[in-house]
A = this chain, B = another copy of it.
Amino acid sequence: MKPIQVGLLGIGTVGSGTFQVLSRNQEEIGRRAGRAIEITMVADLDTARARSIVGDGVRVVGDAREVIANPEIDVVVELIGGYGIARQLVMEAIGQGKHVVTANKALLAVHGTEIFRAAAAKGVIIAFEAAVAGGIPIIKALREGLTANRIQWVAGIINGTTNFILSEMRDKGMDFAAALKDAQRLGYAEADPTFDIEGVDAAHKATLISAIAFGIPVQFDKCHVEGITRLASADIRYAEQLGYRIKLLGITRRTDKGVELRVHPTLIPARRLIANVDGAMNAVVVQGDAVGATLYYGKGAGSEPTASAVIADLVDIARLDGADPAHRVPPLAFQSSTLAAAGGDLPVLPMAEVVTGYYLRIRVVDEAGVLARITGILAGAGISIDAILQREAQEVVSEGTAPEGTQGIPQTDLIILTHDTREGDLDGALAQIQPLPTVLAPITRIRKEELN
């Protein structure tokens, strides 16, 4: 069978990894795919650098459109990133009848509906294993490995940068700013880390997972996004004392009313396997009604781990190129004609409708009656308490953490874990607790998931 010809758009970290792995493992990959997979053309603005990576056997051009226009090219691999030019090029490649592989989670989370529709109309494959959790074949697991199941929820550590920072904060007692600097120094965080630390990258991935798990369109604009920048090392410590770890999770869950879709720091029981995923590693737990919980773990980023996912997509395409589209797996797992409408039967729920547990840290005046007042308000709102931790006032004062203007006041941290609560109800209760004169600082609220 004739080799499948691949054109790369962009040859940075992932592109060069893809080229290297394909070259190194050429023979073995061909034995699996049943035909050779060859990168025959590369487009990059820096043609000299591109040339130095791929050598003389590959055509290097500065204009991506030359790749797309080349009738010899079967598959276009988009590794440019972002929503701008990448979107145009992907749409043009589809228009030219090319299969497309992309690692671009942002593009698909935001413009996926348009892109998947165009690919279906043109009868080409759009594959994106590399867009979620790097080298972990989580898209394949969800889309093909767990097809028997009604998926109940998925929860994942899907951003390595933030997991590295949280691990550093926990292991070394660092605060966020210091851990971020460490991560930047070691290459785990970019110079501008906003997308990672604010949870946006994880939200792109959670959006894709949600669509595949539940048969709904990608709806990034409905995802609740909260990063780790406001997390205090004190909260990590208190969580630990209560038997929990704090991880930035992307969570999507099906309920009677719709689908939860959210990214935020989350307390999880320390004994769960996923709580022990440290450093820059990723892991995703999928709960299905037949299989129960399964977990997938590995490197979520990096040159060759991400290339591993890109090439797995290329092998799938090498096999299915030329087959009737009915023989292929739909990009979002469900046949496109059966996807629920956005906002239809399975709307993405507003956060007020989310039901989960909560960790509350409340800096209060250390005097009789304060605890009773607060727990009374919670009880009044129908919120049930799972655990309370109250620190010695002496200890708190000696730390010098008294908020501005309260230095003279005897004070303590009151930590409360709630049972499952509707977020709207908690908001109502906190709106009553926050203004109390005995509450000395803004209340910290972190969501808690038992993941069982």
Indicate if the CB atoms of B215 and A28 lie closer than 8 Å: yes
Oligomer: number of copies? 2
Complex Cα spacing A1 to B319, Å: 22
Contact A144 B140 (CB under 8 A): yes
**Interface-located stretch among A109-117, A219-227, A285-293, A442-450:** A285-293
Stretch at the interface among A2-10, A325-333, A371-379: A325-333
Q: Which residues of B contact A338 (CB under 8 A)?
A: 31
In the complex, are the beta carbons of B298 and A293 less than 8 A apart?
yes
Question: Given the complex, which residues of B lie within 8 Å of A307, measured CB to CB?
Answer: 148, 290
Cα(A338)–Cα(B296), bound, Å:
30
Tell whether A394 is near chain B: CB-to-CB under 8 Å: no
State in angstroms the CA–CA spacing of A312 and B286 once bound together.
15
Complex: A141 Cα to B144 Cα, angstroms: 10
Q: How large is the interface on A (under 10, 10 to 19, 20 to 34, 35 or more residues)?
A: 35 or more
Query: At the interface, yes or no: A390 with Cβ under 8 Å from chain B?
Result: no
- Known: A33-B147, A144-B316. Is A308-B333 also a contact (CB below 8 A)? no
State whether A308 touches B149 (Cβ < 8 A): yes
Q: Tell me the chain A residues, 305-351 only, with Cβ under 8 Å from chain B.
A: 305, 307-312, 315-316, 319-320, 322-324, 326-330, 333-335, 338
A295 x B295 contact (CB < 8 A): yes
Q: What are the interface flags for A231-264 relative to B under an 8 Å C-beta threshold, 1 for contact and 0 otherwise?
A: 0000000000000000000000000000000000
* Chain A interface (Cβ < 8 Å from any Cβ of B): 1, 17, 21-22, 24-25, 28-29, 31-34, 129, 135-137, 140-141, 144-150, 215, 273, 276-277, 288-299, 304-305, 307-312, 315-316, 319-320, 322-324, 326-330, 333-335, 338
User: Is the Cβ of B147 less than 8 Å from the Cβ of A291?
Assistant: no
**How near does chain B come to A243, taking the closest CB pair, in angstroms?**
15
Q: Assess whether B148 is in contact with A141, with CB atoms less than 8 Å apart.
A: no
B32–A334 touching, CB < 8 Å = yes
Instruction: Looking at the assembled complex, report how far the CB atom of A299 sits from the nearest CB atom of chain B, in whole angstroms.
Output: 5
- Looking at the complex, which one of B32, B273, B328 makes contact with A273 (CB distance below 8 Å)? B273
Residue of B nearest to A22 (CB): B148
> Is the beta-carbon distance between A329 and B319 smaller than 8 angstroms?
yes
B146 in contact with A312 (CB, 8 Å): yes
Residues of B within 8 A of A140 (CB): 137, 140-141, 144-145
Are A298 and B299 neighbours in the complex by a CB distance under 8 Å? no
On chain B, the residues within 8 Å of A147 by CB distance are 29, 32-33, 311-312, 315
User: Separation in Å of the A294 CB from the closest CB of chain B?
Assistant: 4
Residue of B nearest to A316 (CB): B144
A297 CA / B333 CA spacing, docked (Å): 22
Closest 10 CB pairs of A and B: A137-B145, A148-B311, A294-B298, A135-B291, A291-B308, A295-B297, A31-B338, A290-B304, A290-B308, A147-B315
Question: What B residues does A32 contact at CB under 8 A?
Answer: 147, 330, 333-335
Given A137-B141, A273-B297, A338-B31, verify A288-B308 contact (CB < 8 Å).
yes
Most buried by B among A24, A33, A290, A296: A290
Using A135-B290, A144-B315 as known contacts, list a sample of 6 further A-B pairs with CB atoms less than 8 Å apart, ordered by residue number in A: A31-B335, A137-B140, A140-B144, A295-B297, A297-B297, A323-B324
CA A1 to CA B337, docked complex, whole Å: 14
Which residue of B is nearest A323, CB measured? Answer: B327
Q: Which residues of B contact A297 (CB under 8 A)?
A: 273, 294-297
Give chain B nearest CB distance to A187 CB in angstroms.
16
Residue of B nearest to A327 (CB): B323
From B17, B277, B296, B308, A296 is in contact (CB under 8 Å) with: B296
* Minimal beta-carbon separation of A323 from chain B (angstroms): 4
The distance in angstroms between the C-alpha atoms of A215 and B296, with both chains bound, is 24
**Contact partners of A298 in chain B: CB under 8 A:** 291-295
CA distance A31 to B335 in the complex (A): 6
Contacting A312 at CB < 8 Å: which of B24, B136, B145, B311? B145
Cα(A290)–Cα(B326), bound, Å: 31
Q: Shortest beta-carbon distance, A417 to chain B, in Å?
A: 23
29 CB contacts below 8 A, A to B, read A1-B326, A17-B290, A21-B289, A25-B149, A28-B215, A29-B148, A32-B330, A32-B334, A135-B291, A136-B291, A137-B140, A140-B140, A140-B145, A141-B141, A144-B144, A144-B312, A144-B315, A146-B312, A147-B311, A273-B273, A291-B299, A291-B308, A292-B299, A294-B296, A294-B298, A319-B328, A319-B329, A323-B324, A323-B327
